[in-house]
Structure 1
């Protein structure tokens, strides 16, 4: 008994029985479940057996073949249809194509040709069944892990690895309804005093944060944890806002109250990003939140308690504006503006009416802004400090003079490395990047971070170079490379399975490859492959 079923509708008994007896059905893993001499009998057989394939004459007594096909399309749209006809008529063929008929062959029937057509259709049925099975498994998985998958989506948004099309597809997949609301990321540098399961941690945090979120017209969308070389974990929160703005300082104060109420946590730093009105801008806001959190942890201004009325927890300079200012200064070939900035900073810390604490806090903050600006210029922090713990210890133990000297040295180093890079416009670097990507793009694990590490750049800087050099994001660029290679394979290998081609071009999931290919090309890989086979 075959896996795949076939109904044959033909008013000439000799032809009908001849096809049923001449095809090697066992080689196709198929069997004939119904023989019909007209359209009415064919419909009964189809309703009874729901076959995978229908072979039908185009003109029969007791019902026109085209009318039969229309009826089948209404009741059994997944059936693959082959027309067998003695009429070499373009009008018939055109109507058949419009009705979705897969094959149109003329009498007298060539059995070998029909055997090949049936084999191709059964192969396409197998591919579709695999896709449906993948979809069913994914649907069940998604229902169970909906929030986890939404967290993964937001994590990718924060890392800036999604193209505009990826974002739109993710929004549709997750049925996310607040895409038009402003969003803001928050980063908490925290030490967990008491071991706690991540699921319980999520529930605990959500419970304690919700009253304050409601107070500020914010809604928690995603919450997850990242390991960190300094702390047990970084807690990252993504929120949507009901209003176009909110009181950042007031929210930070309430956030600290919420975290201080938990015995399991010791809050060390808080960073709030900018409220963005496009989800594609979340990655930029997230980088600012991370810098702000590190900034507040090292300076101690955001998280320490007041010991007397004279001590302020106000940051002595605006972090985002200062980082942008330093970015502009460090990227200029003219050193005079940077020298002027350093002289003004040196003058600021020379005033006797300023406390030692103020001067130390100011210099710590400037150091973080310098390193952040260098990071955006593609000069990683590790060029200056092997890890964040070293930076933390350095900024908290060094004297005012040593901190200022370190700032001056870091500025000179960043400016020098940026100016003397092989080509700081990125042309030579992108040639090197292109060669590396071309050699490895079939690796599913190849990522923006891996290529950035190979080039000695930060992911943020390399991402900007990609957009400038290719006119598209890294994800869009590597996707196009993979699809171009897939097209070549599909054209040259008519029998190669789609799952094997997907793996060859860097996709672990054949269903995802099918989706990406059809979205870009307008047809499935199998349809594209069959076109060249027919030619």
Structure 2
């Protein structure tokens, strides 16, 4: 309920107005009275009413002067001017002070009631808007950290969402740089430990030096304004010691070259490349680009495109491609005259690439087998070991793909049977609106799994349903009813034509012959 102040120097008028309206009916819970402008002002400052109904000519302060004094400190107060003067100058002055209503005396109780009710409505609208804005602000404040984190994820992965980078930089108060990016990795996928490691990093580096710090997959990635390696290494070593003290686990840290914010994706790629050499250099180290240069020159796997193709082949379950790509990689080693030590090093790197396609629960078991590569005495043995591993993963993916395809077709068939009466039922609708698949892909997959095109299958199911309805009826079912039930609701005559082509007779003949099955023609459209 709201508070109304009535200000008028004529007692009979202000008291008469206060008694003339059932105020509670329109949301007014309290009515205050003032005999002049000064008294009205004092009451406003003390009681803070929501609506003020004021005479324009009063002692001390006029109604207009009262509005001017109040609006700067309490702009939310709704003023209604009550005047005995039909003077444009007064009205203009009221409008300039954002007074929404101007009533001329004499006015009846109904006019006053309507004016106050309008003011109440305006207040409620303002309150709703303020509540909405407050709610939105609260939601934005809650989402801001997640939005900032997502921006960094998009940034390091080179997402198109970060093309308008200047706007994001301003929103998240991020400057151009320079920066360094660090990747902290522990040999443990426990998310609680990763969160603890993230907290250690943020605390040790300090809020003023941390631009972003997030968990990506199984590592903590930091973007920091600290670029001096000596200062960085001190903070990193402190974090590594705390990590070991908490979990008895060594943290390995990859440090990027300096770069600006627009180079975030390149810096992230650099630290991901660097961290792979933990297998050669050992856990618990700080590794930079300089530390791995010797490996890049002597032992690096330099068939990057082929390894990407190998990963793609495993992901898609293409066993033939897995075999041919692995053979190509090892043929390249042979053609370049790599010795056994170099092939072992490359084999370990290739094994790690394949290992990424394991289930999380299998990685520890498989990673123990990495030492077997060093036990191999020939390139053929190393190749066969890796090939067996890669083929096993590809075969599992292939079975998963086949199972997934079967489930898709099962969904299509189930949807057809459940919506057979829908005259708009089509492969386009199922693909686009139900399964969110490419219609051409779904069409080819459907034919591969069922041996017929979708349109043929749909017609067959509809005709078989029509036959069932005719057989089950006692002769009183109408053709239009069968047409409605099988998706031909707009054209029963067309249904009859199609039914005759499919069975060799019209529905009436089919019902009467008693030899329905013998008369089937087996016709389906091409």
With normalisation by structure 1, the TM-score equals 0.48
| TM-score of the two chains, using structure 2 as the length reference | 0.49
Q: Which one scores higher on RCO, CA 8 angstroms, separation ≥ 6?
A: 1
Higher helix share: 2
